[in-house]
Structure 1
């Protein structure tokens, strides 16, 4: 006789991945519960990509107003930070409510509390509003707790710094801010604060921003964000932060001292595994502190699975959702599936933004069997023709010279994230450069460069500006 459990599936973490897995499983007729210690919606909806995108859009208006003047408009504008924060919070609450409602409609029991593993079939839940803890059993358990910002604990004065999570709720807009980090979160928030009129400095210990991206993208964007008024300091990091009566003094390893009102660290995120009871259930971590899983998202413990940022595979919200679908197919539909991590498009909502899919030029030279053809163009977007702006757009195609398949597309400039979504279809489908060229251009657009690039780049050759 099989053991009777309280639920068929218990999900820890109600972010995008956990919610999708819970809903699919419940809609399939299974008994499902999900626990969330904070607000339903997870990092993306509550303290990540959604509120950040609102902030990007708010901050970009200052640039749009400057552009409008070139077209004959006279613009007088001011920005109300408290009003924006209030409006943003109302919208985030609405979106979180939709997640809650959809869980209810699917028949998922939502528990507002923290769940800790006791063994491979048991969790203990401490409710957020107090009261006694509750022990719950489940045939399968899915961990989808995401990640949290990382701070250098050994840095003197780091207690005075904030992370991106606090940046969404600052009581007032600072006049000066220093952002430490060179990844997409750091670059995006630098653009946000600079666009809102904040004196912004970005420091990064590496030789250039956006490590892991194509080198042409990294160099191009570093130059472009400086045109937006962001001071970029590379090859440097903090030695200490000192609080004074007038602000925070950032002492850097190169001897510089920069006083700001706010210091924000965006130096990476870590899988959220603290005090989850993983040892009690036999769930192992990898050497980076993420939950170790196989290709089907199964952990080292029977009946326990993990998806999303807590596994540190590809930390993107749409990927977590697709991993959730694969989990459901594998466990409940007897159709083992794993997510294909190749040619996943991503965007950096910097100012200007970045869209990229596939291999960088350097990756392609190592991965492709043969030479790599590179097609690259830098040009001024038509939108800035009347403004005297020297901003430039970058479009780059990386092609496997042997197969002639386009294996990488990289765009920096207005609407790059929108373009890359469609370009990703062609890259995923394995279309060749000839098939891209056979596609008629839409004129006049920036995107037409993707199908009109004809001249291969020679080593050291730069396209006309």
Structure 2
């Protein structure tokens, strides 16, 4: 049977574009449909603009620190959202163009419209045009989800923050995951009176316990009004603002409300059910280790599969897919060891490998935990403390997990992830000569464990 394309990709985000570009580089004829902007969530309304906003929100703190370093007149002045937004839009336009140009330079074809499946080898574009392909890859990502309460349409999702005309004077962030923590940090730093409401007693559920405690404490220390154990039940229009009612009977008024209450796979209206593609309980596309669905010609990568929802994972999945299908190099991604970072300020929290609780379930564990005031901020009079934490299997001596709370922790965890992925032992870390004076030298100078966990016969530690 003759096909229009060897591969057709639905979704122009990080995972889809990587798969499409690498496949085309191997000589495959590739088409791609994107209903919005090339680059997807990460480039247009996620990682990239968020990190730039983190940088912007850090300026007042940097000016204050400069005063303690002998620059008494240093000041950040008044933040201009309009000036920042103009430059941000220009940068995102540049990145979007680069994504499109990179794919088209290897012979790929882009259709700037929505596509849906109409068969195992066929898609239909929004204009009615039908296209056949030997293989179809779905890489449409995920979308923020709302909590399902009355008046929720009055609130924003994270996508909307990049479209704001002005910074709200008083804002409520609902949620306790990394998106909620990061945007509470950003809005607070840009001058908003920021409240964060979360149903739990600590933010970042699922992360290492010690890191959760430190991030929760830091949010309060930088001025975010933390309201833990609290859930909104209704939003009501109140002039130019919004009144929010909570489950404890209280209410409060805000200029804006942002929901950061999770994300869902963006699978609605793709024709998956009609074609027979198996979906999971959250609407995610079920795939095997090769990113293949139950329909042999249809594959999926990225957040739409709800495996590990991080941009570098989607990119690696897409690249592995292309290598396997068109590069004569079968490989797939091990999702069990993926580094991540939460970009709060002044300290970030970054991790790779197991949490302490997960490591305890595995067997006998040594915990190496160093906490100290870093030189730079301590000199400026800050009491902020850094945490370096290694989890070590007492029998094999392998490092099972690493958790860092401190300045540029995301940069540090990337390098720590390399030896841990290679299976490094604690003694491998110990043999490494420290770079002094640095924060990271603590990673190779912790000699004695701060605590040990033994697993008893009943399975309890």
In 1, the alpha carbon distance for the partners of 2:381 and 2:323 equals: 55
Aligned match of 1:72 in 70, 73, 79?
70
Is the Cα contact below 8 Å between 1:227 and 1:391 reproduced in 2? no
- C-alpha displacement of 1:261: 0.6
Aligned match of 1:29 in 27, 31, 39?
27
In 1, the alpha carbon distance for the partners of 2:252 and 2:68 equals: 35
What is the match of residue 444 of structure 2?
451
Q: What are the ranges of 5 or more consecutive residues in structure 2 without an aligned counterpart?
A: 454-461
In 1, the alpha carbon distance for the partners of 2:100 and 2:240 equals: 44
Aligned match of 1:383 in 356, 373, 376?
376
Structure 2 counterparts to residues 297-376 of structure 1, below 5 A:
297-351=291-345, 352-367=347-362, 370-376=363-369
Residue 43 of structure 2: SS of its match in structure 1? helix
What is the match of residue 214 of structure 1?
208
Is the Cα contact below 8 Å between 1:11 and 1:144 reproduced in 2? yes
What is the match of residue 419 of structure 1?
412
Alignment pair present for 1:437 and 2:430: yes
In 2, the alpha carbon distance for the partners of 1:231 and 1:164 equals: 19
Aligned match of 2:11 in 10, 13, 30?
13
What is the match of residue 129 of structure 1?
none
Residue 113 of structure 1: SS of its match in structure 2? coil
What is the match of residue 116 of structure 1?
116
- C-alpha displacement of 1:385: 2.2
Residue 54 of structure 2: SS of its match in structure 1? helix
What is the match of residue 81 of structure 1?
81
What TM-score results when the alignment is normalised by the length of structure 2? 0.95
Is the Cα contact below 8 Å between 1:224 and 1:392 reproduced in 2? no
In 1, the alpha carbon distance for the partners of 2:269 and 2:253 equals: 37
Q: How many residue pairs were aligned?
A: 450
What is the match of residue 230 of structure 2?
236
In 2, the alpha carbon distance for the partners of 1:416 and 1:274 equals: 37
Question: What is the RMSD computed on CA atoms of the aligned residues?
Answer: 1.3
Q: Residues 284-308 of structure 1, C-alpha deviation per residue, up to 9 Å, x if partnerless?
A: 1012210011111101112000000
In 1, the alpha carbon distance for the partners of 2:378 and 2:340 equals: 29
What is the match of residue 463 of structure 1?
none
- C-alpha displacement of 1:247: 2.2
Is the Cα contact below 8 Å between 1:184 and 1:210 reproduced in 2? yes
Is the Cα contact below 8 Å between 2:23 and 2:323 reproduced in 1? no
Is the Cα contact below 8 Å between 1:373 and 1:456 reproduced in 2? yes
Alignment pair present for 1:195 and 2:189: yes
- C-alpha displacement of 1:256: 2.7
- C-alpha displacement of 1:336: 2.9
Residue 178 of structure 1: SS of its match in structure 2? strand
Is the Cα contact below 8 Å between 1:122 and 1:137 reproduced in 2? yes
In 2, the alpha carbon distance for the partners of 1:441 and 1:262 equals: 47
In 2, the alpha carbon distance for the partners of 1:459 and 1:264 equals: 41
- C-alpha displacement of 1:332: 1.9
In 2, the alpha carbon distance for the partners of 1:256 and 1:397 equals: 42
Q: Residues 406-461 of structure 1, C-alpha deviation per residue, up to 9 Å, x if partnerless?
A: 1111011101011000000111111111111111111111111111112312379x
Q: Residues 105-144 of structure 1, C-alpha deviation per residue, up to 9 Å, x if partnerless?
A: 0100010000011010111101xxxxx4211111110000
What is the match of residue 2 of structure 2?
4
Residue 451 of structure 2: SS of its match in structure 1? coil
Is the Cα contact below 8 Å between 2:365 and 2:452 reproduced in 1? no
